[in-house]
Structure 1
Amino acid sequence: MAAGQSVEIPLGVPEGFTPVFIDPVGSGRYCVSGEVLDDMAATTTAYVAVVDADKRQVVWKSSIPFAHDHAGSEALRCVSDSNHSAYFVLTKEDTNSSESLDQGKLFLQKFSADGKLLKQQRVGVGFDEWAYLLDVTPAGVAVAGGISDTLQRGGKFSTFVARFDQDLSKRTDFAKLPTGAYWIDSEARLDGAYLLVGGQFLANGAVSPADKPYAVSKIDIGNSRYIRSTHLYPTDVDSATPAIEADGSAFYAALTSSELLVSAVDAAGHVTQHFSLKKPLCEIKALGVQGQTLSVFGKTCDKAAVDAIATIDLEQKTVGGIQRVSGDVREVRFEGNAWVGVAVDERAQHATFRRVAR
């Protein structure tokens, strides 16, 4: 795609749809995970839509039923096998509409190539569950996330990785580290036997304001141990957003009342860059890295804030420019020389998938 060229595909999802995540699934296809709010029933229902950006069409879309005794659900992630013969969707169901009584319960769903629901499987790893990664390989399906042993995320916290066969007929492996957990909006990759993860770390025990819960870690799953953790930002920053690269390095950005904080961590866990700039944006939604350029997608600081992309020159430690983006992009990610997102109109009546070349 040439710079500035865009693809826009109306998703045709129900009114009240909110996107949660966008997963590239190969061959120009993307799977959009989210939820649909039913105002009358005051519930949300998990929903997914698969789009083919090259053919500019919706391949299939589906709501996902939740257990009759649960209060609602949302789709968190969606992946496909290598030839798109099957799709796997990870959902979280809420057991109670009251936050003080609610437990999150994770479920895996397998869909056919044309969007027929074939099987649902409870992940079943703990009392209150959440997840930030879904991965599929010929060996099976993997889910990674966190557990709290008590309500309202009171701890004790654990990190888990659970693996299932592709038929979702049995769990083939399970690892649990009862030494804290990363929260639901963390960024993660599976690299063989290792989990690379960045986000807000929920520690067990007392946490002082001097601690820095926004961190990146490398975890040896098989031996249930942390190889390294690098803690970067305290709790009083806003929009702390990580980007985990394929080589194991990571980038991080966060906002204070006046500054944009930028950090880079190499694959060994060493901080190679850590600097601040006058903040060009007042909210961060996504980060993208190309060479020595960090792209930050977020909201401007105007009274009538709009979406925009700020580019940061990592060598010069300067803001290279700010490009405003039309529409209200609720969920977004960078992918190579493009960004993909889902824009939703003000009344959540229409959702549009967008892929825009930079």
Structure 2
Amino acid sequence: MGNGIAVELTAARKPKPSQQALGFGRYFTDHMFMMDYEADRGWHQPRIVPYQPIVLDPAAKVFHYGQTVFEGMKAFRAKDGRIRLFRPDAHLRRMNRSNARICVPPIDEETVLTALKQLIAVDREWVPENEGTSLYIRPFIIATEPLLGVAPSRQYRLTIILTPVGAYYGEGIRPVRIHVEPDDVRAVAGGVGEAKTAGNYAAGLQAQEEAARQGYDQVMWLDGVHRQYIEEVGSMNVFFRLGETVVTPALSGSILAGVTRDSAIRLLRLWDIPVEERNVSIDELVEAHRAGALREAFGTGTAAVISPIGELQWRGERFAIGNGDPGPLARRLYDAVTGIQRGGEPDPFGWMADLD
């Protein structure tokens, strides 16, 4: 194939899983994309190869110093059969922002997007078509230089893998129960909280496990300095409807700049719904709940799109939000974003990119 990308097709295609039992991240397509970096050569040797294990030297820096970044985006089979990607340019721009923070050399976004489209074209039969399904795309970069010593690597590998995923809500969109974490901290301003890097997620596992033991679905993180200001919910950005205004924590350097977060803000403003990006304290939320002003809460992210919040637990006290059903604004946003993704709704911002 063209574009300087070498293509090695697999000799044995995998059986496709049932679209009714895809889950999330369980099955992987027949091929993957790889490209290497060396300080004196730059990014080189782009190639599509059969899906396979990655062989690395035990001294590769990624194992010892955590120098790695990743992204997550989706492709959809539209109602007319076309394969379309949701905001891939925004995801690749964010990947380069993560690269800069972790001292990974920047990628050429246009080149990687071309490679990504070519990889999907090779494995296009894996793009599911059932309602709520999609092809999840995971590009990631790891430091591969076999050298111990705390300094940026001089060698890297970019890999892109694909996995067909089922509907996040198998039984329809439903509110989740959230534990507000009083002790553990995921990130602080000046750290790497705004980068999509593996350590951010490792930092949240302990609190997530404890929340699950208490019967909660996710953790709400507070800032690491005052332990008062809300930052994220699990791996999602979070929004609150206070009266007629929607409020979301401002990007402070410790919060990931979510692509779905940005999409929600743009849609809300298109609908003339007031949106504020500012500090939101847990005390403000508690007071708003007691005054009857906390009308809705929801998270936003690539996997779930919109995740309504039905309950918050803070220092042993539970605060129910709504009547157990998704709020009208969360539902409207979910329907709008998924409608754009599947081609059933107008795309006012030109977010969808055709594969071909």
The interval holding the TM-score normalised by the smaller chain is under 0.3
Q: Larger relative CO (CA 8 A, sep 6+): 1 or 2?
A: 2
Normalised TM-score (structure 2): 0.26
Normalised TM-score (structure 1): 0.26
Higher Rg: 2
Question: Which structure's residues are more often strand, by fraction?
Answer: 1
Question: Which structure's residues are more often helix, by fraction?
Answer: 2
